[in-house]
Structure 1
Amino acid sequence: MKIAKVESIPLRIPFTAGGRSDEAVWGGANLQTVDSLIVKVTTDTGVVGWGETFGFTAVPVVKLVIDTILAPEIIGRDAAVLDRLMLDMQRKFHIFGRSGPFIHGLSAIDIALWDIAGRVSNKPVHQLLGGGVADSLPCYASLIRYSDPGLVRENVVRAVEAGFRHLKLHEIDVDCVRAVREAAGDDIEITLDVNCPWSVREALDMTEKLRPFNLRWLEEPVWPPENYSGLARVRQEGGIPIAAGENASTLMDFQHLLEAKAVDFVQPSPAKMGGITELKKVFALANANNVTVMVHTFYDGPGLLASVHASAALGGPGALVEWRYFDLEAQLYGDAIIPKNGAIAVPQGAGLGLEPDENVIHAYRVH
């Protein structure tokens, strides 16, 4: 079974989010559309698999790498020899960087090939990864950055009323976090992702202000994200559990992160760090270091499904799925993937288990 065709498909889907967004790392202020890049891989036997890479403003450069470098290289290769193929690609193109467009593009292709493997074997990906008994997994609603206590309060109430018992904020203002805790009450779990804004000293000063709000974790408080020793110091002295890893790209990155004892929760991002092939290795590495994996899942397409399958199979009883709390104009999988009462269904069909809506692809494809 050979890889016959690789097609990268950019999508742009409008969304709302319960109020104006503030400046944030995934886009400018008042962001109104989500740009994503999905990948369709077809074998010479006609089997199709779908993958996804991290989107937003990174889409054009990743598409260029896939179309002009990665796709020509893998066409004709055996679709079933996944580990070897991914290792070959990483070795061949390592001189172009061990992070960014090349690894992002490989991630999407890898997810698509796991989808194909499941379809050929007539098993869902979570069974290929070793099983998983859960029919659904709890989600945390991952809100945009509002930088307005009133707006964030309104949307926290909206998420809690929709059934979410776990929330993620992207605020960097203490007043916004205070407003969320007051609105949500003590029974709702709150995490805070600040997207690497502070020095170690600034982060420690902020943990003192944030401790009263009983955060489940503080995510990526230190700039730069690869400052693992600084992150470890914040973890040791700050009094709040630390999460990081969405910006780590290779297994060695995660090994260094864990060796530094920098995190309580490690957050591999399958659409950025090598796909399911690398993700399963991070689970094993984290288990060996007694660190909990919380897969980064800021996607709505095959990248989300990959995270759900991996979390169901490998994540244990405490696994949570990140749900991007956007009101999208259209969903790639319709209602099948939308959480109900704060939980997302684990697809039981072959491969990733769901088929993208071709009408949505046609309507929102960027040409």
Structure 2
Amino acid sequence: MTDSFTIRSIEAFCYRYPLAMPVVTSFGKMLDRPAVFVRAVDEDGVEGWGEAWCNFPAPGAEHRARLINEVLAPALIGRKFDGPTQAFETLTKAIEVLVIQCGEPGPFAQAISGIDLALWDICARRRRVPLWRLLGGQSGKIKVYASGINPAGAAQTAEAALERGHCALKLKVGFGAETDIANLAALRGILGAGMLAADANQGWSVRQAIEMLPRLAQFDLRWLEEPIRADRPRAEWRRLRAAAKMPIAAGENISSVEGFKEVLADDVLGVVQPDIAKWGGLSVCSPLARDILKAGKTFCPHYLGGGLGLLASAHLLAGIGGHGWLEVDVNDNPLRDLYCGPVLDVREGTVELDQEPGLGIAPELSRIERYRSI
């Protein structure tokens, strides 16, 4: 088969898994875990799967699913493309005016990303190679870290993650200095010399962040993630970098090629974290990941969603290489665990992707039908 294909169908499926314990960030809570899975089928019956970011706002998942089903899919069905990137560029161009008119660049970018991931899965399946090999990878083995560790019960969550095979942790901070420091001390004690990072989720002003830096220095953090708002002036980020003893990380809230070019051209960020389900899909983020490595920075794909997007992120990291880690949320979520394939099997801080074509998984959505919202 060639890389050219005609799209026969695209459909989004929306789910919500209710949580007994909310996922907490410095800017809000998730009372359930949403997921928008995307299935694309070509004229030969080859099926591909993707996922669109949909964590916020609370009703956002259903909106993105409807954007895919009612707006974007009709623009692609029946059309022939030379590959996923051509489809991505065609669709992005086609809805430019609509995005301006409705003022929703984020939801459209996320919906297009979900479609793009599904089309890359089709492309790899048509070639009968795993997606990570199609992206240029030499090995399916990657490092992972346990993410989503809330301020409440942080030590217990960390211990459970280590029991499941993790060797690296990332704690959510931004909940008051005493809480943050106590939790970091507990995790460093549990982890020993292992990799520990902290994520403030844009929770501090530059003054607050700089005041926290000396107190954070004792924990030998691999990185401090989004200590200030992503849209703050570059001068504030540079002030922060000049005062920091650890690398600064960001990228999940950068949503333009120009924005990433800017951060790759200076030394503020040591760790860069694009989210393929939130912006750019693989069509933009796979060349971007190579540029991150060329710039001498660490590429760590950001991800906090269902299993299909997590699995695609794993394939991207394996495909690009480098020394980064894959983010693996450790909170309860069957929408993740049922569909992330080998990423569920963490051994000594690593996972190994298999040799099956594409993402290597054919989701049985009947297993989560009770969580479907639309």
TM above 0.5, yes or no, is yes
**Aligned position for 1:163:** 165
Q: Aligned to 1:320, which of 317, 325, 332?
A: 325
1:76 aligned counterpart, secondary structure: coil
Shift of the 224–275 alpha-carbon distance from structure 1 to 2, 3 Å rule, reads closer
Shift of the 23–287 alpha-carbon distance from structure 1 to 2, 3 Å rule, reads closer
- The 1-side partners of 2:143 and 2:232 are apart by 29
Per-residue CA deviation, residues 291-321 of structure 1 (Å, 9 max, x unaligned), is: 11111122332211111111112122x2311
Within 5 A, what are the aligned runs for 1:82-93?
82-93=84-95
For structure 1, the 5+ residue unaligned runs are: none
- The 1-side partners of 2:344 and 2:328 are apart by 9
Greater per-residue strand proportion: 2
- The 2-side partners of 1:81 and 1:94 are apart by 21
Per-residue CA deviation, residues 211-233 of structure 1 (Å, 9 max, x unaligned), is: 11110000001124454332232
Please state if 1:51 is matched with 2:50.
yes
- The 1-side partners of 2:113 and 2:271 are apart by 22
**Aligned position for 2:281:** 275
Q: Aligned to 1:366, which of 358, 361, 373?
A: 373
Conservation of the 8 A alpha-carbon contact between 2:314 and 2:343: no
Tell me the percent identity.
Answer: 31
- The 1-side partners of 2:275 and 2:142 are apart by 18
Within 5 A, what are the aligned runs for 1:189-208?
189-208=195-214
Q: Which one-letter code corresponds to 2:12 in the other structure?
A: S
1:4 aligned counterpart, secondary structure: strand
Per-residue CA deviation, residues 10-41 of structure 1 (Å, 9 max, x unaligned), is: 0122456xx6654554634xx3x311111111
**Aligned position for 1:218:** 224
1:143 aligned counterpart, secondary structure: strand
- The 1-side partners of 2:368 and 2:268 are apart by 40
**Aligned position for 1:41:** 40
Which range moved further: 234-243 or 101-110? 234-243
**Aligned position for 1:113:** 119
2:142 aligned counterpart, secondary structure: strand
- The 1-side partners of 2:341 and 2:130 are apart by 19
- The 1-side partners of 2:341 and 2:181 are apart by 35
**Aligned position for 1:355:** 362
**Aligned position for 1:183:** 190
**Aligned position for 1:235:** 241
TM-score w.r.t. length of structure 2: 0.88
Instruction: Please state how far the C-alpha of 1:276 moved relative to its aligned partner.
Output: 0.8
**Aligned position for 1:2:** 6
Conservation of the 8 A alpha-carbon contact between 2:225 and 2:249: yes
2:117 aligned counterpart, secondary structure: helix
**Aligned position for 2:177:** none
Shift of the 276–68 alpha-carbon distance from structure 1 to 2, 3 Å rule, reads same
Q: Aligned to 2:350, which of 343, 353, 356?
A: 343
Q: Which one-letter code corresponds to 1:194 in the other structure?
A: A
Conservation of the 8 A alpha-carbon contact between 2:307 and 2:340: no
**Aligned position for 1:264:** 270
Per-residue CA deviation, residues 96-130 of structure 1 (Å, 9 max, x unaligned), is: 16841111011000000000001111111111111
- The 2-side partners of 1:221 and 1:188 are apart by 22
Task: Give the aligned length.
Answer: 356
- The 1-side partners of 2:243 and 2:340 are apart by 45
Shift of the 188–343 alpha-carbon distance from structure 1 to 2, 3 Å rule, reads same
Instruction: Please state how far the C-alpha of 1:175 moved relative to its aligned partner.
Output: 2.4
Per-residue CA deviation, residues 62-82 of structure 1 (Å, 9 max, x unaligned), is: 123212221111112224432
- The 2-side partners of 1:197 and 1:344 are apart by 31
- The 1-side partners of 2:187 and 2:129 are apart by 41
Per-residue CA deviation, residues 248-267 of structure 1 (Å, 9 max, x unaligned), is: 11222211222243200100
Within 5 A, what are the aligned runs for 1:11-50?
11-15=15-19, 21-22=23-24, 24-25=26-27, 27-28=29-30, 31=31, 33-50=32-49
Instruction: Please state how far the C-alpha of 1:165 moved relative to its aligned partner.
Output: 1.0
**Aligned position for 2:317:** 311
1:154 aligned counterpart, secondary structure: helix
For structure 2, the 5+ residue unaligned runs are: 175-179
Per-residue CA deviation, residues 314-361 of structure 1 (Å, 9 max, x unaligned), is: 122x23111110233463337643133232231321111111123224
Which range moved further: 345-354 or 328-337? 328-337
Conservation of the 8 A alpha-carbon contact between 2:304 and 2:328: yes
Q: Which one-letter code corresponds to 1:37 in the other structure?
A: V
Please state if 1:75 is matched with 2:77.
yes
1:100 aligned counterpart, secondary structure: helix
Which range moved further: 221-230 or 157-166? 221-230
TM-score w.r.t. length of structure 1: 0.90
